Amino acid sequence: MGNIVKIRCKNCNIEQDIKIGAGIRFCNIEIIDILFNKGMTQKLKNTLDRNKGMTWFVRKEAAWCPSCKKIVECGVLTLNSADGKSGVYRSKCRCGSEVNLLTEDHACPICKRKMELTVVGHWD
């Protein structure tokens, strides 16, 4: 189950409710096409077929779109190979731009002050 968080910077007046984490459908590989783009599920299936023992995990994270100047939901796909190597892939914003995941210290992307995160609900 994921959380719905309100992310807010009092200094910049940025406020957005974002779904983060993973829901029950996130164990189904077809979710990749929804979070990323059409055809991505098949590419992942092909990669998994070629790399026996590889695992994957997908979730939503909060990110900053520099084009929209908004906090947005971002799909994050982590691939782990049998030999211990891993790769992390991010979806793009709906506008098509690359996004930057928010830092763990929740620094505002504009003023760099710490933003408030409040859990306001749950989703699945």
pLDDT digits (tens, 9 = 90+) for 28-43: 999 999 999 889 999 9
Domain total for the chain?
Answer: 1
Work out the pLDDT band at 105, boundaries 50, 70, 90: confident
6 or 23, higher pLDDT: 6
For range 1-27, the mean pLDDT: 94
Query: What residue numbers bound the domain in which 29 lies?
Result: 2-123
The widest CA-to-CA distance across the chain, in whole angstroms, is 49
Element (H, E) at 104: none
Each residue's pLDDT tens digit, 51-86: 999 999 999 999 999 999 999 999 999 999 999 999
| 55 close to 80: Cβ distance less than 8 angstroms | yes
**Cα–Cα distance measured from residue 111 to residue 94, given in angstroms and rounded to the nearest whole number:** 24
